[in-house]
Amino acid sequence: MTGRKSFGSDNHTGVHPAVLRAIMEANSGDAVPYGADPLTERVTARLGETFQAEGGAFLVLTGSGANVLGLSVLLRRHEAVICAQSAHINTDECGAAERLVGTKLLAVPTPDGKLTPELIAEQLDGRGDEHFAQPGVVALSQVTELGTCYTLAELAKIADFCRASDLRVFLDGARLANAAAHLDCSLAELAECADVLTFGGTKNGAMGAEALIVMGGSFAADVPYLRKQQTHLTSKMRFVAAQFGALLEGGLWRSNAAHANAMARRLADGVRDVDGVELVHPVQANGVFARLKPRHIAALREDWTFGVWNERVSVVRWMTAFDTSAEDVDAFLAGIRSTADR
């Protein structure tokens, strides 16, 4: 790292002070392990209420762990998953879904990372024919990997289609807080479309905490066993619960996300008039995707930390976080402008 604020990812950040405080407070005396302690019970109950999730909430340690657990809860043994080609489960988890769940991902090219009923329907041609992989789950990402958000209306349309088509809906919510902030809606409204979803804490200010939210009660029975079998039942669970406790307290999750989103918008607004910088996706959450000249990318990376999203088309990704300040953005903007002038 350069000393300057990283725009590489919202997981370059440390831990929000309130989260760290909650961890320290949780460290008093003994507690029964594996999540049977009072703090975990209180926090997971509150998560369940927040999402109006009949099946409850289950804490795990990583986003990939949450995704694998969620898919394994929803899939029949032989079924496949329909997802966007850009989905994290398809591109960024080293084949975890195929290896740990044993499922085929039917990856659909999309312009903006978002599935639609029409795109889903095209994957159903082989249904009922034993030779073809049989879709059982549609996996959405909210926020998508391209920084876009499904609207509530889009989610409802997909959910209606899926329910009518015997497809369950999984929602990867590693950045769900950012979507709720962008759409100015509740987490429960976002979750309505889904049978099972994840709610990411880590990118929102936690140290390492993710939640699996089980909307339908019928899917909950096997989760404890699957979580243990998939090696995510940590013994000192109270310290994971404490993190979510802090994020839920006073709506910290929402203010963290709203701030990150605002910083991304500030960044996007700041580059709109910069020659040679082209925004390639709507900026709806805390990511800005932009096309720059390759030599400008190289020059900018000498001073700043961020990722090249797609080298072939010269697109970069700039991420903001709960602790990105307006000054950080403005300094970065100055750097972009000065680079673009060269």
Of residues 3-62, which lie at the interface with its own copies (CB under 8 A)?
3, 5-6, 8-9, 11-15, 20, 23-24, 26-34, 61-62
Burial profile 35-54: b = 16 or more Cβ within 10 angstroms, e = fewer = bebebbeebbebbbebbebe
Cβ at position 226, least distance to its own copies in Å:
5
Burial profile 130-141: b = 16 or more Cβ within 10 angstroms, e = fewer = eeebbbbbbbbb
Using CB under 8 A, which residues numbered 256 to 295 contact its own copies? Answer: none
Q: Which of 161, 239, 244, 289 binds its own copies (CB under 8 A)?
A: 239
Using CB under 8 A, which residues numbered 57 to 116 contact its own copies? Answer: 61-65, 67-68, 72, 76-78, 80, 91-96, 98-100, 102-105
Cβ at position 169, least distance to its own copies in Å:
19
* x/- map, 297-326, its own copies, by CB under 8 A: --------x-----x---------------
Using CB under 8 A, which residues numbered 207 to 226 contact its own copies? Answer: 207-208, 222, 224-226
DSSP 60: E
Based on CB atoms, which residue is closest to its own copies, 49 or 122? 122
Residue (of 15, 161, 10, 138) closest to 71 by Cα position: 138
41-49, 155-163, 234-242, 330-338 -> range binding its own copies (CB under 8 A): 234-242
DSSP 139: E
Q: Which of 46, 157, 236, 301 binds its own copies (CB under 8 A)?
A: 236
DSSP 197: E
Q: Is 120 in the site for its own copies (CB under 8 A)?
A: no
Residue 81 corresponds to which tokens in the numbers above? 């998953």
Cα distances from 110 to residues 64, 93, 148, 183, 323, in angstroms, run: 22, 19, 12, 21, 31
Cβ at position 215, least distance to its own copies in Å:
19
Cβ at position 20, least distance to its own copies in Å:
6
Q: Which of 186, 230, 279, 293 binds its own copies (CB under 8 A)?
A: 230
Cβ at position 185, least distance to its own copies in Å:
26
Q: How many residues bind its own copies (CB under 8 A)?
A: 76
Cβ at position 222, least distance to its own copies in Å:
6
Q: Which element (helix H / strand E) includes 180? A: helix 176-183
Using CB under 8 A, which residues numbered 132 to 161 contact its own copies? Answer: 132-134
Using CB under 8 A, which residues numbered 164 to 203 contact its own copies? Answer: 202-203
Burial profile 103-129: b = 16 or more Cβ within 10 angstroms, e = fewer = bbbbbbebeebbbebebbeebbeeeee
Residue 48 CA to residue 25 CA, distance in Å, equals: 23
Residue 173 corresponds to which tokens in the numbers above? 């919510």
